Every structure is written in C-alpha cells, then in structure tokens.
Structure 1
Amino acid sequence: MSTTTLLVLSLVVVAAALVLRRLRPAWYWLSIGVTLAALRVVVRYASVMDACGLTVPPSRLRLTLARLTNRPAPESRPPRILSFRPTRTGLVLRVKLRPGQDAFDFAASTDRLRHSFAMHSVTSREIKSGVVELRMTGYDVLERVQMPAKVEREGLRIPVALREDGAVHYRDYRQVPHSLNLGATKSGKSVYQRHLVKELASRHVALVGIDCKQGVELAPLARRFSALADNPDDAADLLEALVQRMADTYQVIRREQRISADTPDEEITADLWGLPEELRPVPVVLLVDEVAELALFSNTAQKKRRERIITALVRLVQLGRAAGIYVEICGQRFGAELGDGITMLRSQLTGRLSHRVNDEASAKMAFGDISPDAVLATTQIPVERPGLAVAGDSTGGWVRIRTPFTTMRQAVNACTANAHRTPVLDGLDSFRPVLPDLTPVEIPAPASTTKPLTA
C-alpha cells in the first residue's frame, strides 16, 4: 500500500472521528474517546498532581536515607490510585490521600484537573476518610439527555434526571419527603413535573394535584389523579381534606402500635411504612403547580382563604411524612413577599430544585439558606438550555441536572395506561376528576394472505 493511500485513509478516519464526535458524542466516547482519555490520565497523572499542588513532599526518613546513601533527594509523591474504571460517559478514579492531604484540596482543584486531563468536567467527592473519588465526563452529557437503559426503579425512588457527572439523579420520597421546584417561564419546570407524574403513574401511590391555571398543566393527566383542584377555593377544601386524612392515618398507626413487653422490636412503628401491608393506607403525593396563586389575595374573603391554605400546607409538610403524604411545590418565586407563613413552609421543604430564574433573589429563595455556590450556579443557567437545573438539599450539597424532555402525549399515555391504578381516597371523593370513559379503538383484522385451495 502506497504512502499516499495511507495518508488518504488516515484523513478519512480522522474526519469520520470528528464527525462522530460532533453528531454522536456518546458513540465517539465509547468507541474512541475512552481509550484516548485513559491514556492521557495514566501518562499525565503524576505531573498533573504535582502541577495542581496535590502532592506531598518526601518524608524525613526518605530524605535521611537519600542523604546517607548519597543519592538525589526523592521527588514529591502524588496520591495513590486505588481504582480506575471507565463508564458510559467518562472515567471514575479513586485515589488514596497521602498524610496531610485534605479532600477539600481536590474539590478546589477540579477545574484545573479538567483542563489538565482534557475532560469536559471533573467532580470530586469524599467516599470515606482518606479516599476521594474523581468522576470525569468525556463530553457534555446534559446537551442531549439520554437516560441509561437500566435504571433503578424501586418503591418511591424514581429516576428524574441525569447529573452532570453522568450519574442518574433520583427523587426518593422516603428520604426527602417534601421538595421545592422553582423556575421562570420556559425554564423546564413544567417538563420536570410532567416527567415526575409519568414515572409515578406506574407506582402504588395516589396522586393529588392543585393547578390554579384552570388545570391546563395537570388536567390532561387527570386519569391518574385521585383528586384535582383547579382554583384556590377548591384547593383550600382539598388541603383541609388531606389534613383530615393525615389525622385519620395517625389514628390507624396509634391503634396498631399496641406496645407491650412482648411486642417484637420490628413491629413497633411510628409511621405508615411500619404497618402491615393489608392495613397500610396508600401513600399520597401532592403536586402544587403554582404556589403564588394560592398565596395572593386582594380582599378580606381571599385573605381568609389564603390563611386556610397556608395553614393546611404547613401542617402537611410538618406532619405528613409519617402519614405517607409527600408534597411537591412548584413556583416562579417563593419569597417572604407572598405573606405570612411562607418562610415557615419553605423551611420544611428539604429538597430544593431550581431551574433558570430571572434574578439572583429568586435563586436565594431556593439556596440562600443552604449554599452560596448553588445560588451562583443557578444564576448561570443559560436560556437556551431549558430543563437544566440545580438540585440540592438541606445538607448543602448540590449538583447540576437536566430532565429528559417529556412530551405531554408521553405523560398522558402513561397516565391512561395506568388509570386502573388510581386509588379512591376516603374523604376526597368530591375532588376526583370526572372524565368520560375511554372509547375502545377497533383494530381491523389483518387481510388474509392464504390462497384458497383449488382442486
């Protein structure tokens, strides 16, 4: 084969790789990128650690031995690699810290590591004392969100988005019972809620919705909702009915406790999940589409209604977890200007999620009491990336996520297919959506292709 032919083939291969990297970054990473990235990390590891200040000087013993043996002084030592694992989106590197090193040093150096290893992003987290995990992504996984084919779906732990490090972000209602979802218009807030309903439709859970925009967001999904209110007056009555259901559930728990000296420890419970399955009421997920519509008022009658609504919401988020009632509150703003009780309500919402907002004050409403870094990350979300959000909790940890785009048709189909799972809640019958029966679609019989027998 001539040199010219080899050169042409090389150019074709390089051009194909560049096109593949542009159009299908995931395919490029799995076929070519992961090998090149692994070689870069292995070859550059020691020099990069030294350049980033993540090495430790030699010990006194090593310096003494070098002096006694008349050898050159030993070099600084980088942290030891414990494991090196490629993934579908990047590389996972676990390192053992040297004496005197801190996990914060690696967290502060992630941007320098990203440039040095030529990766798209690098995140650091401490696994245990002395062990740090570096998760590197080879391409922008949030540009074109593709959820893994196999994700964990168990109980009330559902996958809702993809993290910037390539991992799946889950919404676990039993760990984080109540959550706040902020976002400006066209930021992807409604798509996140739609995806949430789509995932919950197949679970053993009752969905209750409050959509004061005349139900335009949640009414199409009503076949899977046990109760739905589309105006503030109905919302006030619905919330008070939920408070009464919560009280009735606590009476069931109290009646079944029966604590005595011979009661086994595993049968003593103070919440819904410790009850026997045949006695356990169905858990409820309450979705509030626009909380500001419940808090605004313009006259005395509306002010009294607002007090009923806020009081019921505060009771649900303070006491509802043990009764199996979980609250998802969505809104564009959630500050003290909405009136009394809003700050108390927000303090009970452990999970925080913020899509793009129009001002820094709105970001502070979500993360100001948790993490200043999360506030800064929220204000940097671009307009051209709807669905991109910052997720955090009361511990101060946060991460960038993006929800896969879910059309209204996909959510409606999921709710319709699981309409038989919709439970009837005692005390909430008057709020159950009244819908026409589904008209069965007649599928014509396929034309016979068998030729008639002839004599």
Structure 2
Amino acid sequence: MSDLSMVLEATGALVGAGGLGFAKVRAPRVYWSLVGLPVAWGRFTVTYRSTMDVCGLTVQPSRLRAFLTRNVARREVLPVPPKIRRVRGTSTGMRVTLRLPAGLEPADLMAASERLRHAWGVHSVTIAETKPGYVQLRMTGYDVLRRVRMPRTARPEGLAVPVALREDGSAFVRDYRKVPMALTLGANNSGKSVYQRNLIKGLAELPVALVGIDCKRGVEQSAYAPRLSALVTTPDEAAALLDVLVGEMGERFDLLSAHGVSDMWDLPERLRPVPVVVLVDEVAELFLISSKKDEERRERIVTALIRLAQMARAVGIYLEVCGQRFGSELGRGATMLRAQLTGRVVHRVNDKQTAEMGLADIAPDAVMAAGLIPAERPGTAVAADSSGGWAKIRTPHTSRAEAATVCRRFAHLVPDLPALAPFRPLVPADAPVAGPSLVKPLPVTD
C-alpha cells in the first residue's frame, strides 16, 4: 500500500508540475496569479530596502529623524528609501504606491527602472506619477504584448477610444480631448493599418463625424463608407475637402464668438456642433507632386492642414495623420505640420531617421525603443506625447471585415453636415441573398 501511495504522490506531483508548465506558456495570467505573484511579492518585500540602497534611490534622513534614531532608538542612522504606501497585485503584475522623500523625484526612479526589473525578477517596471510626491511602480510579471488581451474595463467617457494594450497591462486610450492631433508612422506590414482599423472601429460607435482621406484610390477606407461623412481618394478631391473643412472651422469660430466662449465644449449641448475626426491614410501622397502644375494644389493642401492643426482643436475638428515617413524632404510645410501633431505612435520603421522624425522632438529616450521593434511582432509600437512620457504598446489584431461590419452596424450615427454632403461616399445596397426561384417552370411541349 505504501508503494501505491508513493506512486500516486509522484504522479500527482508530475501532473501538477506539468499543469504549471502548460499554464506558464498557454495561460500566463493563471500562472502569474498562482506562482509568479506570491514569489515576486515575497522577493519585493524582503529585498526592498537593500535594492533601493544599491540603486541609489535613498536619501539621508532629516536632522530630527537622525537625532532620534541615534540618541533614542540607539541605532545606526541609515539612508531612507521611498516609503511604501500600498502594494496591490493584479492579473498581470503588481502596483506599488510610493511616497517620495525630499530629494528624490520620479525621474530618478525612471532612470533605475531597468535595474529594479532585474532585481525583482519581473518582466518590466514602469513609473507613473500619481500626484505630487507620490509615484506608482507598475510591475509586469510576464510579456503581456506577446498575446494581446485588452483589459475588461469600462469604456472611457467622452471622445476617447481604447485602441491598444500598454506594456504595463493597462489600455492605451486615444483621447481627442487631451491629445487632439496625432501622427502615426510605420513601415509596410508594421501594423499601422491595424491600428487605424481599431481606431475607426471605436470611433464608429461614438457620435462623431468621420472624414477619410485615402489617396490610394480608397483601398483602405472605402470599406468603412457606411460610417464616413466624407471620403476622398485623390489629391485634387482632398484639396477641395480640406478647403471645406477650413470653412467649417471658420463658421464654428463665429459660433463660439457669438456665445462668448473659447472652446466648443463650453457651449450648451443643444448648440454644440458635432466633433469631426479627419483620418489621413498616407500623408506623403498629399505632399508629393509629379509636375509643376501640381504645386498650387500642394500649397492649398499644406496650408489647410497646418491651419486645421493649429486652430481646429477649439472647434472640435481633430486630425489623425498616418504615413510611412514624414520628414522635411516632403517639402515646405512638412516640419511645421508635424510640430502641431502632439500625439505620436511609431511602429516598426526601416531606418533610425524615421523614428527620430516621430519621437526625437518630444521623447528622445523612445527613439531607441522604436528601433528595436521586431518584424515578427506586427502591431507593436511606441506611443509618446508632448509630456515626454512614452510607453510600448501593441494593437490587437482586427481584420478589415470586422471594422467594416461595425461601421455598417452604426451607420445610423452619421451626422447631418451639409458642408460635407458633396463628399459623402456612395454606399452600395446589399446584394440580395441567393435563394430558390419563385417562378414555376413550364414543361416544354412540341
């Protein structure tokens, strides 16, 4: 009987080890919750003070504290690390809230994030400032970007769309109220189109007007025609549409002036115009010219884009510009327009210069990270904004058919904008489904 129990115990141990190994590969959230989180939590608790000390994240205590420690507690005066306020485990990692002592700033912890990652044996450590004097260490236990699963959180309010997953396990939200203009760069097959599909899929459910500029004869955006208020497929049509948008912007400014406000969102809801999101699929096609006679059209387009990027935020017109490369070689006005695009998302690029075009002026530290994105991980990108912060993100795969289905489902949300009516795309009627013929056949007689 003892031999049988020994065999059963050994078999159970092997099955348990095999199950944990399977969970580590196929269900990393389960493995992290059962094994990774307790181990990481214990390692963090035991080694916190020594780790902060060797990483240079401690400061000398105040004179009063040093005096009390030396003369009352009769202990050696040691450097003080940030005080732990809260430790919370999640399905992807840990969240640790720290109170910074005088002499430390969030940038000090950001500079040491790679050393902290190795010290505590986690996949990544990112630092986020929650309020003055407090930071949050967001530790990720495993590579959440290997298999993207968006968190089940409530949809953000306002004009915001969750489009990707951050490296720390939270959702990357494209909020047009906070970041009104944005630029997305990426090489072929880098996931730039999938990012735009997720964006359109989310925007289709909101009460906004979507305007598409796709100078590749509409091959990307024509599938979303049921939800688009306007769609142009050639540079000549784009020039005419942008002129109309500039005129619409002027009329909205007149409305703001008449009611004594400086922002569209300060108007009463019954008077507030519908927000407009302009989606430019390949911005280089609007800049490039093939002959001298196209120069005037190019100047119209560039001038209109710059005017919209500079002023349209206040009247609810937002730009979402995509391209493979966007530098000064496109011609006059390209650099000026890029400077107005606050949000930056850079996918895998073919050269370092392209990454610098998108990130060097707002987040120089992110340029190297953008250059290390592997080709076998399409959809991975570096997202940054004018605050200097950046994060690695990955977009969940969304097919063109899925995005088109959502656009058809919410086609009734297309707002009535008379100025854009001439550019409204023609939506073909659904083809009838093949079925049995209702005509009764007649026999052939001589």
TM-score, scaled relative to structure 1 = 0.90
Q: What is residue 11 of structure 2 aligned with on the other side?
A: 8
Matches within 5 A, 1:79-90: 79-90=82-93
Q: What is residue 152 of structure 1 aligned with on the other side?
A: 155
Asked whether the equivalents of residues 357 and 379 of structure 1 are also in contact (C-alpha less than 8 Å), the reply is yes
Q: CA deviation at 1:416?
A: 0.5
- Which residue among 333, 339, 359 is the counterpart of 2:331? 339
- Which residue among 39, 45, 48 is the counterpart of 2:48? 45
Q: What is residue 448 of structure 1 aligned with on the other side?
A: none
Q: CA deviation at 1:319?
A: 1.6
* CA distance 1:92–1:283, change in 2 (3 Å): same
Tell me, in whole angstroms, the C-alpha distance in 2 between the residues paired with 1:201 and 1:65.
63
Q: What is residue 392 of structure 1 aligned with on the other side?
A: 384
* CA distance 1:149–1:132, change in 2 (3 Å): closer
Asked whether the equivalents of residues 151 and 170 of structure 2 are also in contact (C-alpha less than 8 Å), the reply is no
Q: What is residue 421 of structure 1 aligned with on the other side?
A: 413
Tell me, in whole angstroms, the C-alpha distance in 2 between the residues paired with 1:69 and 1:201.
66
Structure 1 unmatched ranges of 5 or more: 258-267, 445-455
Tell me, in whole angstroms, the C-alpha distance in 2 between the residues paired with 1:388 and 1:422.
31
State the percentage of identical aligned residues.
Answer: 52
Q: CA deviation at 1:130?
A: 2.8
Matches within 5 A, 1:223-242: 223-242=226-245
Matches within 5 A, 1:255-270: 255=258, 257=259, 268-270=260-262
- Which residue among 347, 356, 362 is the counterpart of 1:355? 347
CA deviations on 1:65-84 (whole Å, 9 max, x unpaired) are 67668956354443321000
Q: What is residue 181 of structure 2 aligned with on the other side?
A: 178
* CA distance 1:62–1:315, change in 2 (3 Å): closer
Matches within 5 A, 1:368-407: 368-407=360-399
Helix, strand or coil at the partner of 2:418? coil
Query: What's the Cα RMSD here?
Result: 2.2
Verify: 1:317 aligned to 2:309, yes or no.
Answer: yes
Helix, strand or coil at the partner of 2:320? strand
- Which residue among 193, 201, 212 is the counterpart of 2:196? 193
Q: What is residue 253 of structure 1 aligned with on the other side?
A: 256
Equivalent residue letter for 1:435:
V
Structure 2 unmatched ranges of 5 or more: 437-446
Asked whether the equivalents of residues 151 and 159 of structure 1 are also in contact (C-alpha less than 8 Å), the reply is no
Q: CA deviation at 1:37?
A: 2.1
Q: What is residue 55 of structure 1 aligned with on the other side?
A: 58
CA deviations on 1:193-231 (whole Å, 9 max, x unpaired) are 011000000110000001011101000111100110011
Tell me, in whole angstroms, the C-alpha distance in 2 between the residues paired with 1:152 and 1:366.
28
Q: CA deviation at 1:52?
A: 2.2
Q: What is residue 439 of structure 2 aligned with on the other side?
A: none
Q: CA deviation at 1:442?
A: 9.7
* CA distance 1:51–1:5, change in 2 (3 Å): farther
Q: What is residue 18 of structure 1 aligned with on the other side?
A: 21
Equivalent residue letter for 1:369:
D
For these two proteins, the number of residue pairs brought into alignment is 433
* CA distance 1:77–1:272, change in 2 (3 Å): closer
Equivalent residue letter for 2:423:
F
Verify: 1:291 aligned to 2:294, yes or no.
Answer: no
Q: What is residue 326 of structure 1 aligned with on the other side?
A: 318
Equivalent residue letter for 1:121:
S
Helix, strand or coil at the partner of 1:277? coil
Tell me, in whole angstroms, the C-alpha distance in 1 between the residues paired with 2:70 and 2:209.
74
Helix, strand or coil at the partner of 1:82? strand
Helix, strand or coil at the partner of 1:352? strand
- Which residue among 31, 34, 48 is the counterpart of 2:34? 31
Q: CA deviation at 1:60?
A: 5.8
- Which residue among 214, 219, 225 is the counterpart of 1:216? 219
